[in-house]
Chain A
């Protein structure tokens, strides 16, 4: 029975999608089923998290085909951690959508699409097979295409067109690199892949092409995560999508790209070593040594482009979208340090800097998922209340809608990193990672510190500007006429409360994140759990 819990999130989301499709003629029932489905999803994910926490890695071999011949579904601490984040954000967003998206839209397609998207997200977090990852990406993307173009007005179709074409090209490229990896290594199973890469001579694998193919794959993941230079679809898509969908796109779907980078590059490809590049800046002959500088550049570019871009937006959603680009930079920055720095953190009994780095990235992921999700919902509530999110039409919201404004302020302060909110620990761990790397003289650590500091200042700048223009000052005409969508404000505040709760009760979250980071780096454990428990290969 414990085995089946691994695929339970997938099944629950799929059942919810089908049921909401079948109940579309009874809108109230459909809404109830949809919310119940999302609640059940969170419950199942929580059970899975607890099972993995106490029992270690769980695997499920589809149709009982032993790995690596069948498709493996694997839940380890990292997958479970990401799933819990997805469960929380998607539940709140869905409840918000139940009052936000118009009646017709909900009946038409919103609920099934939302759940299908969650099927794709869960599948991507759980799969142990790279081709299967492609399939789940497609499931997730196909639903997100329709959700982005949901209002199907002029600007929505245009944003969606960009988003669709870009991702279709991305999918073709992903297929190419997966095909190449299969031809070079002879397997698609991630655990088997890591086994073959760890001992290339025994399996007749040439590790050199793996570097190039994995780099192509990396571009696809960076596209999903919206990291510079693959970020340009982000603002248009987030602006076009309904607010609860933007919350999930920024809070969850983006994180699928981050997860894939951690899972494939830190768990699987990290074991491979090739002759070294012999280029300045690329030290060492591990595959990760190549990604270190690449991740650095992308993180720095993201932080600056997102930060500077967000400062002069004149629309709240645009600002949040650019801020998302910058914040993903903060997630990638510790990963860059983790990829370059080897060595242990002094005084911790052998915790490597790499573990600390991934922990920092995961904590930042949680913070960004909750805070940015909350901010997009707040932005949706403002749109509902005022009828616009252009800064020119806003102003003085703190007088007319004090509760909503407090929600915005708290979530925005979490982005900045003010204690005791979750963002403080996110930023703190990023700085800590950079400082520890500096202590062992890792290349780039000083630069990382400077960039993180500059990025933090940029965050303060754009958050302050949004607050000044939207919430302070005399209420504008539109704000004066605003009504108060109580239900939506209450739902949006749930994520804000989560931001505070994670900050105050930080210890269990930190424990979970560092457990997830250890799982991400425990290639051996992952390999053994997937390949041997099926009883097939010895």
Chain B
């Protein structure tokens, strides 16, 4: 059951992320990118398998009953990186607003010429 729920959630997240990336408003684009990378993180967690329920300690559990902890470590790394890049992207958005007076991508493209 969990698999189906997660599959649907992942699909929704990627859908929403893609939709936002294609918006004209730069802030929404940044949110979209941020959602896409979070969706990738959720996807990564599911790659470790969903059956395990036992904590990973030396005394506990065997290969069958624990969830692969490696992907969770990967996701932690990816979250930290995503945090930094999102902060930068938002700061950049503000700078775009300062220099252009707009954060509409259509207007931005017009000014470049």
Contact = CB atoms under 8 A, between A and B. Distances in A.
Contacts of A168: 33, 36-37, 85, 89
Contacts of A179: 40, 43-44, 47, 71, 74
Given A142-B85, A164-B88, 15 more contacts: A134-B78, A135-B77, A138-B85, A145-B88, A154-B99, A157-B96, A158-B96, A161-B92, A161-B108, A165-B33, A168-B89, A175-B44, A179-B40, A179-B71, A182-B70
A149 B92 contact: yes
B49 to A, nearest CB: 8
Interface residues of A, number: 32
Interface string A225-244: 00000000000100000000
Given A157-B95, A182-B71, A171 B85 contact: yes
Contacts of B70: 182, 188
A149 B100 CA distance: 14
Interface in A139-172: 142, 145-146, 149, 152-155, 157-158, 160-161, 164-165, 168-169, 171-172
Given A138-B81, A154-B99, A169-B33, A161 B47 contact: no
A176 interface: yes
B73 to A, nearest CB: 9
A216 to B, nearest CB: 11
A406 interface: no
A169 B36 contact: yes
B41 interface: yes
A282 interface: no
A4 B41 CA distance: 33
Interface in B50-99: 70-71, 74, 77-78, 81, 84-85, 88-89, 92-93, 95-96, 99
A142 B88 contact: yes
A161 B96 contact: yes
B112 interface: yes
A179 B47 CA distance: 6
A472 interface: no
B112 A155 contact: yes
B41 to A, nearest CB: 7
**6 closest residue pairs by CB, A with B:** A183-B47, A175-B40, A179-B44, A154-B99, A172-B37, A168-B33
A182 B47 contact: yes
Contacts of B44: 175, 179
Contact of A175 (B26, B37, B88): B37
Given A165-B29, A180-B47, A154 B36 contact: no
Given A152-B95, A161-B96, A176 B43 contact: yes
A169 B26 CA distance: 14
Contact of A158 (B36, B37, B108): B108
6 contacts: A138-B81, A142-B85, A158-B108, A165-B29, A168-B85, A179-B44
Nearest to B35: A172
A131 interface: yes
Contacts of B21: 165, 169
Given A135-B77, A175-B78, A160 B92 contact: yes
Given A172-B33, A175-B37, A182-B47, A165 B71 contact: no
A161 B108 CA distance: 10
A112 B87 CA distance: 19
Contacts of A175: 37, 40-41, 43-44, 78
B62 to A, nearest CB: 16
A146 B89 CA distance: 10
A497 B84 CA distance: 40
Contacts of A180: 47
A171 B88 contact: no
Nearest to B73: A131
Contacts of B41: 175
A135 B80 CA distance: 11
Which has the most chain B C-beta neighbours within 10 Å: A146, A157, A178?
Answer: A157
A168 B34 CA distance: 8
A165 B99 contact: no
Contact of B37 (A146, A157, A171): A171
A142 B81 CA distance: 9
A240 to B, nearest CB: 11
Contacts of A183: 47
Contacts of A161: 26, 92-93, 96, 108
